[in-house]
Amino acid sequence: MKIEVTKTNLILAAVIIVLLGYVIFTHRSTSTVNDLKYRTEIDSLSRVILKHQQHQLVLDGKILNYELDIKRLDREIDSTKQVIIDQRKYYGDKIKNAGRYTPTELDSFFAERYQ
């Protein structure tokens, strides 16, 4: 097989080379523009995600503080319940024995109880 070099073949080869070059260069430039566009969006979204993660850490810290406050209040409630139980027992015994009190003892009991 022999290829003759004619003006038609040279022009056809030149047109093919120009078309291939055009396709290659336009594909690269479009790809670069799209890559840059997507990279910009990805960077922007990454910054937003980072801000949300930092905000989440702040909220987690607040939640931890609230949990500590709840535990402290639970201990205070438990100790207050114990004080109430002790006072009920103490005054319950006094009230049971109130029938045996003299009028002076009753006066001092109520004076002490309702100060």
Question: What is the number of structural domains in the chain?
Answer: 1
Residue 72 lies in a domain: yes
Residue 68 lies in a domain: yes
Residue 115 lies in a domain: no
Tens digits of per-residue pLDDT, 33-88?
567 888 889 999 999 999 999 999 999 999 999 999 999 999 999 999 999 999 89
Give 21 or 54, the one with higher predicted confidence: 54
Judge whether 51 and 44 are in contact, CB under 8 Å: no
Question: What is the pLDDT at residue 1?
Answer: 58
Residue 70 lies in a domain: yes
Residue 104 has pLDDT above 90, yes or no: no
pLDDT band at residue 29, thresholds of 50, 70 and 90? low
Domain residues for 35? Answer: 7-81
Question: What is the dihedral angle through the alpha carbons of 86, 90, 91, 95, rounded to the nearest 10 degrees?
Answer: 140
Residue 47 lies in a domain: yes
- What mean pLDDT, rounded, does the chain reach? 85
